[in-house]
Structure 1
């Protein structure tokens, strides 16, 4: 007698696919919201919470779906997911690309940006109950899987039961298993596969934009496979009482086919799609930082290292009147993630402020030992080389550092300073490096990105600044750039209280200066702080560097001040972060 074919194996494969997509959607939206709004922990926690809440609502309401149309409702669910998930993804990008009128409450935008998470979670909540009902309807004679797989599963099952007997009252079940246990087991396997493949393949290899379309394509294909396998027109009819899908609305079937073809094209050309959509978002995001119509941005190149998104672009002044930002009409700039790092007009003056001003406080020679944390573009090293000092540099991103060595945009500023004979470069995390090294430094320069995401929080923590302080010589100082207290007051208060708690009691604030737009007026470029755990030598103008001498009137009155303390402002620590120190760019 021929064996009854129930299609349970197909159901298990479908369960694996839809659970894979469900888990990865959660990760994609969490990362997308982190990219757009920062605060990694906050975004992941809220996204996961909303997602599971929505899953529960969907699962609870699944009992209200027509019990005679489980198959039809499963098909609808997959088509809706294939349409809604990418649309919601693009909605979040759009909210961060267009100019939102100031009158629109930020709370409303917060809610709207998270509606796609709720929608995808709600739809995913239908899937497992529907699959469970259909597996029970089909039945299982225990021979749906290949014989070798059943034997392997039996051995694993027996081993697990032996362990369970040590702690629970167990009666091993053999033969047919409930649809719920079968579907849940495959759901967890799909979830694990989704987590691993997203972390190791999809996100680092493809990026967020292609990944969302890969997932949507899988949902659409799952819908088509389901109706082909279990519809009344099935090419492989089953020995069951009735097909699981009798009718599918023609419009919905056409939509599913169009989505499948469209997403297949996007996935096949994923590099092009990723690059173009990313450029559109980035260019609009950059232009929105200026008044409407004043600046045009053009992304020249972009790429991702293991640690950051590197964007090169040109900005062109298109506004009325003289250009107040730089000389000429167009210049080149660099961004790491969402934060601007360097432009042609102020690349030199920024490093004048970071290096040349504090070097006025020290002997210019090999006996002065300097630590640079960050500085992967090598420009700070070039400025230090002028003073023949001994330099240790620690930076985490070896790929970025290698890229900048021979790139014309960077080499114009660093002049091959990576070959400096008194330079020792270590590829490591700055926080961990300071915990392990025994070196003492006269000058520590923090040439690191701004505090725009959770990954950088530890470089703005009490523990990190405390490590820097412990590695200073008796006359040593720390120098770092900061965001303006006027523009980012909450960040400034958290920053000041944090460095104070780390043992820095004295500060010497100053600006870097330059006439960046050639209008004959000197502009403020960047804010810096010299920090010390006690009194230090003054900023030497008379014996200062060439840069300090050029702007002697700007630096002559610079004096050490006590590091203030703000009441009610919490210190940022590793295990109790203060998210006020993060900057929303």
Structure 2
């Protein structure tokens, strides 16, 4: 039988070092993103996760001195445990943010529990480098293959020449072959992991499967280790004269093989696994927004574009009381990331408030120029078409806009508005668009998600609103929906100070109205704001408005421009000095069920969105 060609012991250890470093650094990125998805605040979550991970690495490195260096199977066990803990930690974090039982715990305790997997992975990763360094150092004849040796010798000479300009160097390279090479492979693994995760792994398969794929690499590293160094039958790559001999237990090898098959199956069936776990998380979080047992959510469609996660679902009222949300038992909704974009009950009244009310201030002719920011579902454009105005429509997500054109749910409300002859749609970042255009608008409509993550901080900044102000005609206004001061007072204070610093000194506020539950009772819906640089701008004129505005003219005819309130001690939100108070708390996990029901019955729809 032809003998298998096997790499040298040192080359094998260098390869394993690269693989485990690749996984460890990428776990740090993946878990940071996972916790950002769960809790928001990219800077906060990445900062905490990196800090916890590196401190756990230090703890693991310190604990590793207790290990018996004559038992190389510790490396095997470390990789096996990592391959198990990483996906289990993912499932654990999803569970504590979705299941009902953990919500009985204090929020701070839930936050600590959610970071236990990061600690576990950090401690285990801290074992790896000391163990591998010890193995390399204990080799009787640490040598590289001739090809690798030529490369390292040439690299040594180049590096020695360069750094010799600034430092005292040595021409002895024995230490480089043992410690420095292992360290270099460890750091190189970190660099390659970041590049592959950011540009390939995460965009291709998403967050959940990335963690499963990394766990698979860990367990493959464990298998490679025992195949190369084991004295047992599975040591198929072992050499006759070995410096490293492992004697792992059979049951652990069987577990490793089973775990490899399980993780491999998850990666192969990545779409099914990703959809199942995502639906479990999303449905649980939607249901948690309401009193326990009152709303059942069922995901019908979900996908991720380059810019956002699109989720269409049905929500069904299961409560014993009358439904305070919508007419009937079930309605369709669509979310972009965590924010509700549109539901059957709110689609028309929301756009009546966003579009119809501001248009009543201007002639409904093509001489009125409107900038629609966002609105990729095309519904706002349909209302603008009914006003017969000229529209520039800017949205960054071309994939979602294409999806919305033919989606059976959305077509009921946009009526193919993308064919409107007096509208031009631009797939662009609104910042870039505003900086490039010289166009001036009578009305700028902001159909944007609420400030629920720091990814949206730029469109709630003074710089953004200053660009909007500069794009208004001398009679122009900005219209947007907003949150109630009674529910999100910190947000509104930061928001008003931000808008004021951008040059908007006047505002009007109003609500949308409708019979949302079909019981004949008219309720307030979303809250809207009109902003202007001065009080000389037009006011809402119901007689000039649509049938909706005329129907509720009593709510709009007395609106006047007022000074935007400002608040001492509250920083405005800027691009380079963000005020995170402008973000809103979407979790509300510690709120009692009775309080939630009362809030549902009394709050405005904008607070729910």
1:221 corresponds to: 220
- Residue 176 (structure 1) shift: 6.9
1:208 corresponds to: 207
TM-score by length of 1: 0.95
Correspondence 1:97 to 2:98: yes
- Name the CA distance, whole Å, in 2 between partners of 1:100 and 1:289: 15
- Name the CA distance, whole Å, in 1 between partners of 2:59 and 2:432: 44
SS in 2 for 1:576: coil
2:307 corresponds to: 307
- Name the CA distance, whole Å, in 2 between partners of 1:510 and 1:4: 75
- Name the CA distance, whole Å, in 2 between partners of 1:153 and 1:354: 66
SS in 1 for 2:322: coil
- Name the CA distance, whole Å, in 1 between partners of 2:488 and 2:135: 56
- Name the CA distance, whole Å, in 2 between partners of 1:560 and 1:5: 78
- Residue 241 (structure 1) shift: 5.8
Q: Is the 8 A contact 2:301 2:311 kept in 1?
A: yes
1:425 corresponds to: 425
2:50 corresponds to: 48
1:39 corresponds to: 41
Residues 252-331 of structure 1 correspond to what in structure 2 (within 5 A)?
A: 252-331=252-331
- Name the CA distance, whole Å, in 1 between partners of 2:200 and 2:244: 38
Q: Is the 8 A contact 1:141 1:176 kept in 2?
A: no
- Judged with a 3 Å threshold, the aligned counterparts in structure 2 of structure 1 residues 16 and 423 are, in CA distance, closer, same or farther, namely same
SS in 1 for 2:133: helix
- Name the CA distance, whole Å, in 2 between partners of 1:4 and 1:448: 58
1:389 corresponds to: 389
- Name the CA distance, whole Å, in 1 between partners of 2:269 and 2:91: 18
Residues 234-253 of structure 1 correspond to what in structure 2 (within 5 A)?
A: 234-238=235-239, 240=241, 243-246=244-247, 248-253=248-253
- Residue 320 (structure 1) shift: 1.8
Q: Is the 8 A contact 1:4 1:239 kept in 2?
A: no
Q: Is the 8 A contact 2:368 2:389 kept in 1?
A: yes
SS in 2 for 1:177: helix
2:544 corresponds to: 543
Q: Is the 8 A contact 2:83 2:216 kept in 1?
A: yes
Residues 404-553 of structure 1 correspond to what in structure 2 (within 5 A)?
A: 404-535=404-535, 536-553=537-554
- Residue 383 (structure 1) shift: 0.7
Correspondence 1:81 to 2:82: yes
2:592 corresponds to: none
Q: Is the 8 A contact 1:382 1:417 kept in 2?
A: yes
Q: Deviations over 1:169-198 (max 9, x none)?
A: 333444673422111111122112211111
- Residue 438 (structure 1) shift: 1.6
- Judged with a 3 Å threshold, the aligned counterparts in structure 2 of structure 1 residues 214 and 555 are, in CA distance, closer, same or farther, namely same
2:340 corresponds to: 340
Q: Deviations over 1:350-384 (max 9, x none)?
A: 11111000111111111111111111111111111
Residues 183-194 of structure 1 correspond to what in structure 2 (within 5 A)?
A: 183-194=182-193
- Residue 101 (structure 1) shift: 6.9
- Name the CA distance, whole Å, in 1 between partners of 2:6 and 2:507: 81
- Name the CA distance, whole Å, in 1 between partners of 2:196 and 2:113: 29
- Name the CA distance, whole Å, in 2 between partners of 1:4 and 1:112: 44
1:168 corresponds to: 167
- Name the CA distance, whole Å, in 2 between partners of 1:160 and 1:493: 56
Correspondence 1:131 to 2:135: no
- Judged with a 3 Å threshold, the aligned counterparts in structure 2 of structure 1 residues 252 and 142 are, in CA distance, closer, same or farther, namely closer
- Name the CA distance, whole Å, in 2 between partners of 1:4 and 1:271: 36
- Judged with a 3 Å threshold, the aligned counterparts in structure 2 of structure 1 residues 101 and 129 are, in CA distance, closer, same or farther, namely closer
- Name the CA distance, whole Å, in 2 between partners of 1:263 and 1:241: 31
2:230 corresponds to: 231
SS in 2 for 1:542: helix
- Name the CA distance, whole Å, in 1 between partners of 2:198 and 2:241: 41
- Residue 98 (structure 1) shift: 1.8
Gaps of 5+ in 2: 587-609
SS in 2 for 1:444: strand
Q: Is the 8 A contact 2:140 2:243 kept in 1?
A: no
Q: Is the 8 A contact 1:434 1:467 kept in 2?
A: yes
- Judged with a 3 Å threshold, the aligned counterparts in structure 2 of structure 1 residues 198 and 275 are, in CA distance, closer, same or farther, namely same
- Judged with a 3 Å threshold, the aligned counterparts in structure 2 of structure 1 residues 5 and 116 are, in CA distance, closer, same or farther, namely closer
- Name the CA distance, whole Å, in 2 between partners of 1:506 and 1:285: 38
Q: Is the 8 A contact 1:136 1:178 kept in 2?
A: no
Q: Is the 8 A contact 1:334 1:341 kept in 2?
A: yes
- Residue 100 (structure 1) shift: 5.5
- Judged with a 3 Å threshold, the aligned counterparts in structure 2 of structure 1 residues 100 and 477 are, in CA distance, closer, same or farther, namely farther
- Judged with a 3 Å threshold, the aligned counterparts in structure 2 of structure 1 residues 225 and 289 are, in CA distance, closer, same or farther, namely same
SS in 1 for 2:121: helix
- Name the CA distance, whole Å, in 2 between partners of 1:296 and 1:23: 38
- Residue 545 (structure 1) shift: 2.7
1:558 corresponds to: 559
Q: Deviations over 1:416-441 (max 9, x none)?
A: 11121211222211122222222111
- Name the CA distance, whole Å, in 2 between partners of 1:23 and 1:205: 19
TM-score by length of 2: 0.91
SS in 2 for 1:361: coil
- Name the CA distance, whole Å, in 2 between partners of 1:553 and 1:81: 65
- Name the CA distance, whole Å, in 2 between partners of 1:409 and 1:23: 42
- Judged with a 3 Å threshold, the aligned counterparts in structure 2 of structure 1 residues 67 and 395 are, in CA distance, closer, same or farther, namely same
- Residue 102 (structure 1) shift: 6.7
SS in 1 for 2:542: coil
- Name the CA distance, whole Å, in 2 between partners of 1:101 and 1:486: 28
* Number of residue pairs aligned between Structure 1 and Structure 2: 579
- Residue 244 (structure 1) shift: 3.0
